[in-house]
Structure 1
Amino acid sequence: MPNADRPLPGDAPIVAFFDVDNTLLRGASIFHIAKAARRRGLISVRDIVRFGWHQATFLSVGENKRHMASIKDRALELLSGYSAAELVVIANEVFDRDIEPRLWPETVELTREHLRKGHSVWLITASPQIVAQVIADRLGLTGALGTRAETVDGMFTGRLDGPVLHGEQKAVAARDLIAGTDVDLAHCWAYSDSSNDIPLLTAVGNRVVVNPDAALSKHAKAAGWTILQLKRSSIRDAQRTVRREARVARPARRGK
């Protein structure tokens, strides 16, 4: 009998996509970046109050487009004139001080379960790409897809390099990631808390909603999607589901 822990010949590659804010991490990662920037004297008390307001609202009612636009515009303005290297240093500092203690252990363990199956695990978030990549690297994940800020000669310009990775754009990014490979989204997985990610969740064959907002909870129940509340019994059920239903996979191959 073949070893169930090793990919079998011909097994299709699989990608698991994880949202970050309120799915992998309690709260918004950009708020913790703002706090670190304040400690370094890069932003004002007024700015940190604005980011704090966004954080409190996000935790209580979830994302909305107005909040996203406000936080995006101010974040880009604040980045202008600083280097990508500086943001990487800040992001690593923030991971150790603020993000790691606020990670949901249950969701992190699900990323491990997918990795053990041979799946690629990608973070997919509206947060800055550099910040998302630091989180992915520190957790040993495959990679990260995030909102890209334009740089010229290593310095941020205060403009975006592409769209904010939010809503439908996450589904677009997931399709772009697998373009030219033999990955089939019908075999892939996605995890999110937000109704804004319904396009991404719909694009994959296996979707798990994590501590969903009201709109996503309603949609998930109607669609028969798995709903995961972060408590011990639920996480055990989710792990068993991945072990039982997720196929062992081999790495993706690019088309010729």
Structure 2
Amino acid sequence: MANLALFDLDHTLIPTDSDHEWGRFMVKLGLVDAERFTEQNDYFYGQYKAGTLDINAYLVAALTPLAKHSREQLKAWHDQYMHEVIKPAMLPVAIELVREHKAAGDLVCMVTATNEFITAPIGEAFGVDKLIACEVETVDGHPASAFTGRPTGTPSFREGKITRVEAWLASLGKTWSDFDRSYFYSDSHNDIPLLEKVTDPIATNPDDTLRAHAQKAGWRILDLFQAS
């Protein structure tokens, strides 16, 4: 029976926050008002770290700028963002960790609260089997059509990550019990619900709250980037 390996993204597989960095990238390109957007970006990032994030308000704020541009233009900017920001942050130690699970025959999934526009190319770059991210609404529901600037579906955040993972497994005709072991790597205390769901929770580069929780629970702690 194969195992299941789930990975958070930001500060887990990369030592930065892909959504926060995308906001900074938009400011750099002059796509948004620098002062206002930087303040908003930092505000929601602070909420996330504090565990008080209003996920729907955050998603609307993050996605609204996407509706102003064509998919072709957004892709060109995202390609530049991958080259300048993300690829340099994809450290060999993290790439190898994903590869080890894939080489073992595990089913590998990236589960992130960052939206799918930002994270789909990152998931491809890491070679995961499946990406579960906050979904972005399109004008007519077609994947290639323009964005509306609004989220859709269940946000993959906190308990929503469990909901989305279980829905994905169900689409494969599977449940948690179909795997000998299930792993989840995450840095954030926001992910404690999903960490408690798997057989092998791994607090990876954990924030202070998660580190304390992991130590009390006897979970494995992996300081991945200290090993790089």
For this structure pair, what is the TM-score category when the shorter chain's length is used for normalisation? 0.7 to 0.9
Counterpart of 1:114 in structure 2 is 101
Counterpart of 1:202 in structure 2 is 196
Deviations 1:3-40 (A, max 9, x none): xxxxxxxxx23221110111112221112222332344
Aligned partners of 2:133 and 2:81: how far apart in 1? 17
Q: CA separation of 1:227/1:130 partners in 2, compared to 1, >3 Å: closer, same or farther?
A: same
Aligned partners of 1:55 and 1:161: how far apart in 2? 19
Counterpart of 1:38 in structure 2 is 27
Counterpart of 1:26 in structure 2 is 15
Q: Which amino acid aligns with 1:45?
A: A
Aligned runs of 1:43-192 on 2, under 5 Å?
43-50=32-39, 53-54=42-43, 57=46, 62-66=49-53, 71-153=58-140, 154-179=145-170, 180-182=172-174, 184=178, 187-192=181-186
Deviations 1:154-173 (A, max 9, x none): 11112211132110011111
Counterpart of 1:241 in structure 2 is none
Q: Is the 8 A contact 1:186 1:206 kept in 2?
A: no
Deviation at 1:71, TM superposition (A): 3.7
Per the normalisation by structure 2, the TM-score is: 0.84
Q: Which amino acid aligns with 2:173?
A: T
User: Residue 157 of structure 1 aligns to a residue in which SS?
Assistant: strand
Counterpart of 1:218 in structure 2 is 212
Deviation at 1:81, TM superposition (A): 3.3
Q: Is the 8 A contact 1:133 1:143 kept in 2?
A: no
Q: Is the 8 A contact 1:16 1:120 kept in 2?
A: yes
Unmatched 5+ residue regions in structure 2?
none
Q: Which moved more, 1:97-106 or 1:77-86?
A: 77-86
Deviation at 1:44, TM superposition (A): 1.5
User: Residue 163 of structure 1 aligns to a residue in which SS?
Assistant: coil
User: Residue 17 of structure 1 aligns to a residue in which SS?
Assistant: strand
Per the normalisation by structure 1, the TM-score is: 0.75
| Structure with larger Rg | 1
Q: Is the 8 A contact 1:132 1:145 kept in 2?
A: no
Q: Which amino acid aligns with 1:203?
A: K
RMSD between aligned alpha carbons?
Answer: 2.5
Q: CA separation of 1:69/1:213 partners in 2, compared to 1, >3 Å: closer, same or farther?
A: farther
Unmatched 5+ residue regions in structure 1?
1-11, 236-256
Q: Which amino acid aligns with 1:36?
A: F
Q: Which moved more, 1:49-58 or 1:172-181?
A: 49-58
